[in-house]
Structure 1
């Protein structure tokens, strides 16, 4: 049987103040690149931390909406969105190059991530930017999603992602943050949520049903109130299961 490898990622560079501590427990990070948060200073600082901890570096673009932290859909033309995504990624790549780093992956943020699950046109727009200008970068995407289907059609490399600290609906979309059971609050509940995914290839949805899922990467949100506790516990748990983090 093939030895299992799981990546643990986190959305960082978002002003939470815990980036250095989170780097100890993850193997890749997604750094805000100006759409929902971030500027040259925050990007450079987070990139240097990742390099110091030998953590793979990814860009975390979003709708251009710092006011709502990129968590709400934005009424924006296709041309303007494409230009914004290109600018965010190009700025990030320029800073990354200046720090001597390598772009490993791209992971959309917030409302953009959620809409890319179901919107084929938006998926094609996103891929128009990433495939053309950053063709060697892996895309972190949700399971059973439009972006996954379109990316595979266009030959883009993807890692299926699952959120360690978020509950899922039956269609494998995330339970909206507006609902009380959207976020998993503590480390013990996170491990109960995650272990069936990595050991048995299924997830228990918020309605109690089992759905197939085999993630290559697991995300712990850096802005979760218990992010450090969860990341530490997840890291230890994966190692205790004799699964390689990487």
Structure 2
């Protein structure tokens, strides 16, 4: 499918201790801020919120499994009630660092994000937690993989959905992200990441690791703050989008 988007959101997972936040923030339009579970604490949340405000970047919560040893990238066994309460707790933790903060979006982290792509129960627990912390009239959106259980769960509780693609990760032919344990999972070459970004906005999808074309309509592109060379990747992606005439703007803009 060939198309061309006039604008796209560019987001990054920040406040995770990668040391790249100050370089990435001027280049992105949405920040997903770790809420003190898989990474971060009150101090880093406060600093990252302030940095986002300085550059006019939309602020989102980035809840994950509460285990730091594996950076939230391994699943935990939790009941649906436990998980929804944990998600709500983390969002509220971000809210507490700044009483004036309006959270624009929520994006799950690591294993939680990956599980919610296919697991209806996990996806439902996440959005239940989001609604506990951000009830109507909040207009916060849910960042989610296209064609995922998370999309359906979010829509079912009245959350706006922002479909997400990744510029620094490889995909499998079924549309899931290639496991970080496998070779070729990360795109650390800035030009490869930029090419993938342009594929999303121009072609409506990307090539999987095996060459299969994946039809993936997205509203936001993610690059991870802890990917090696993240600032150079972000700069290359922004430059490529600028050359293509694609405006980088937040997916959720408060009026």
1:47 aligns with 2:52: no
Say which of 81, 88, 111 aligns to 1:79.
81
Query: What is the CA-CA distance between 1:154 and the residue it aligns to?
Result: 2.8
The equivalent position to 1:14 in structure 2, one of 13, 16, 19, is 16
Q: Counterpart in 2 of 1:38?
A: 40
| Contact 1:14 1:37 survives alignment (8 Å) | yes
TM-score between the two structures when normalised by the length of structure 2: 0.92
Q: Deviations over 1:160-188 (max 9, x none)?
A: 00111000112211000000111011111
Is the counterpart of residue 111 in structure 1 residue 138 in structure 2?
Answer: no
Q: Tell me the distance in 2 between the aligned counterparts of 1:130 and 1:76.
A: 17
Which one of the candidate residues 197, 202, 208 is aligned to 2:200?
A: 197
Contact 2:84 2:127 in 1 (8 A): no
Aligned residues: 244
Counterpart of 2:122 in 1: which secondary structure?
A: helix
Deviation at 1:3, TM superposition (A): 6.0
Name structure 1 gaps, 5 residues minimum.
none
State whether structure 2 residue 244 is matched by structure 1 residue 241: yes
C-alpha RMSD over aligned residues: 1.5
Task: Give the corresponding residue for 2:218.
Answer: 215
Q: How far 1:238 moved relative to its partner?
A: 0.8
Match of 1:62 in 2: 64
Aligned equivalents of 1:230, 1:201: Cα separation in 2: 21
Alpha-carbon contact 2:80-2:121 (below 8 Å) kept: no
Asked if the contact 1:166–1:182 (Cα under 8 Å) also holds between the matched residues in 2, the reply is yes
Q: Match of 2:169?
A: 166
> 1:121 maps to what in 2?
121
Q: 1:2 to 1:73 in 2, by over 3 A?
A: closer
What is the CA distance between 1:134 and its match in structure 2? 1.3
Q: Deviations over 1:70-111 (max 9, x none)?
A: 0000122333222221111111112132xx332110000000
Using the alignment, how far apart are the partners of 2:30 and 2:166 within structure 1?
Answer: 14
* Kept after mapping to 2: 8 A contact 1:51/1:101: no
Q: Deviations over 1:133-177 (max 9, x none)?
A: 314211110111101122223321011001110001122110000
Work out the CA distance in 1 between the residues paired with 2:47 and 2:73.
24
Report the TM-score, using the length of structure 1 for normalisation: 0.95
Q: Give the SS at the match of 1:15.
A: coil
CA displacement at 1:66 relative to structure 2: 1.1
Take 1:60 and 1:80, find their aligned partners in 2: how far apart are those partners?
17
- Give, in angstroms, the shift of residue 35 of structure 1: 1.5
Cα distance in 1 for partners of 2:179, 2:84 equals 25
